[in-house]
Structure 1
């Protein structure tokens, strides 16, 4: 009898241990899966491709992770189209999206703007920042060398022009549309060359490879530090500012995202300007704050995109 009892006891212990082991394994697996599901993947389009933005992405991920109390991964889009593809495929949960890219993703039911960024306003006459003033729109800017004899938009006929991606509002869509409105089709009446980023465009104009560059308003201020041997206000002039206003970047999420998480993200971005780490994070894109998104503000992008394509 004692032997039987001992055997039964050992079997009982073994069974409990096995069940406990199964339970722990299942719990660990579920926990891991839950953690994976909760990870937030963020993507943005860098303003330049010199590698400096990659280093700044990690502190931004850490900042969001701390504020949202979840793992955050921040990735860089290689160009304007890849962030659209990433949102459409569900690889990215939160996109800091240039306006034309946002509209494309929105039309694919792959993005929902929860906020619009605020930028510093510029004096259209001097090109200098207006102290303390913010705006939720900007303009496209066409830069030429200061010694150029070009004085008006139509002077670009027959010229060599550096542009950004055809998906860029200020770097392509708006200036192309307004050139066509003025009677010059730059796709046939000029030579357009797509380059990787605005510093590359500016360099091409400075060294005479290109006669003009399509950039965003205030580009000479934003990228002045990239040209220590040049005074961009002395060496370049603004030939033209687009008549159309371009809505700022959209802070966009997957439309199917949990409503509570959307609100958490919104609160984090709305409060970024109030702390040092947040302000540093916003400087990645030159943002100075955020406001509630009015999706109708992006309708103008659709109009200009159609006009540029005609």
Structure 2
């Protein structure tokens, strides 16, 4: 894979248009909510539609949900107002925001349990997965192997894993055969089918395959994880009506606290709740993007 696949997108983050320009207030008649295809699109859409109905009831307005065809197109959807609200992973959010197309309103939360004690985290990690019988034991062993990656706008499926590889002296162009896939479940599937030697995904993407492939965790293993990644965002159009922004924020927080609604939300991306956040929280992503654009 050549650098030119990454640079055109990343350069927009560094030199994109400002988000501070005065804009007219935007209030759509139908709220368009879009999701990134981190798993099978048809399955994801079926999970997302019930959330759309709940939002419609809370906001007292029509809500249309859709699944982006790729991580890249969801950024374009925000730019062209084909989406008013988007579940953006950190890298996609930074790109959209720095082009003046999105403001973050919420970050997702995840419940974890260690030694019987539950806690809520606002971060996650990427992981490198290999088959159980693979001779690959660590990051260094990945050199000259086939690796499944997501598009460059995927934080856990590209940005952070590639950053870790580079830290270990592995050039993704010269030292690896990259296989680009759409969906973290597809990356694991490619691994199981021996189409790749390593899959870079969010932790733990294998959960999404357990229903159809119960032995997935027994037949694969994690060899490394990335540094902490700020959790995914719920972002809205930068010029969206201020009251509507607050209503959307309130609706998501309220729904995430209701037992029945929370179950629907968790089915989509394993989110356990939402909390307010701001753009500054994603500056660490900008540093990763800037570093890789120089490579």
TM-score range (shorter-chain normalised) is 0.7 to 0.9
Provide the secondary structure at the position in 1 that maps to 2:218: helix
Answer yes or no: is 1:212 the counterpart of 2:198.
yes
Secondary structure (helix, strand or coil) at the match of 1:226 reads coil
- 1:293 and 2:277 are equivalent in the alignment: yes
Cα shift readout 1:103-126 (whole Å, capped 9, x = no counterpart): 000000110001101123377xxx
In the alignment, which of 221, 236, 252 is matched to residue 253 of structure 1?
Answer: 236
Instruction: Indicate conservation of the 8 Å contact 1:199/1:226, yes or no.
Output: no
Q: 1:80 to 1:122 in 2, by over 3 A?
A: farther
SS in 1 for 2:174: helix
Q: How does 1:1-310 map to 2 (within 5 A)?
A: 37-49=28-40, 51-121=42-112, 132-228=118-214, 231-242=215-226, 244-283=227-266, 284-309=268-293, 310=295
Aligned length: 267
Normalised to the residue count of structure 1, the TM-score between the two structures is 0.81
Q: CA deviation at 1:275?
A: 1.9
Structure with bigger gyration radius = 1
Q: Distance in 1 between matches of 2:57 and 2:195?
A: 46
Q: For the structure 1 residues 193 and 169, does the alpha-carbon distance in structure 2 shift closer, same or farther, using more than 3 Å as the test? A: same
Superposed displacement of residue 191, structure 1? 0.3
1:240 to partner: Cα distance: 0.8
Q: Give per-residue Cα distances to partners, 1:243-267, cap 9 Å, x unaligned.
A: x211111111112111111111111
1:131 Cα shift? Answer: 5.9
* CA shift digits 1:142-168 (9 cap, x unpaired): 000111122211111000001111211
Structure with greater helix percent:
1
Inter-partner Cα distance in structure 2 for 1:294 and 1:165: 25
Root-mean-square deviation over aligned CA pairs = 1.9
Counterpart Cα distance in 2 of 1:113 and 1:71: 22
Give unmatched runs, 5+ long, in structure 1. 1-35, 124-128
Deviation at 1:130, TM superposition (A): 7.2
2:14 aligned residue: none
Which consecutive segments of 4 or more residues in structure 1 shift more than 6 A? Answer: none
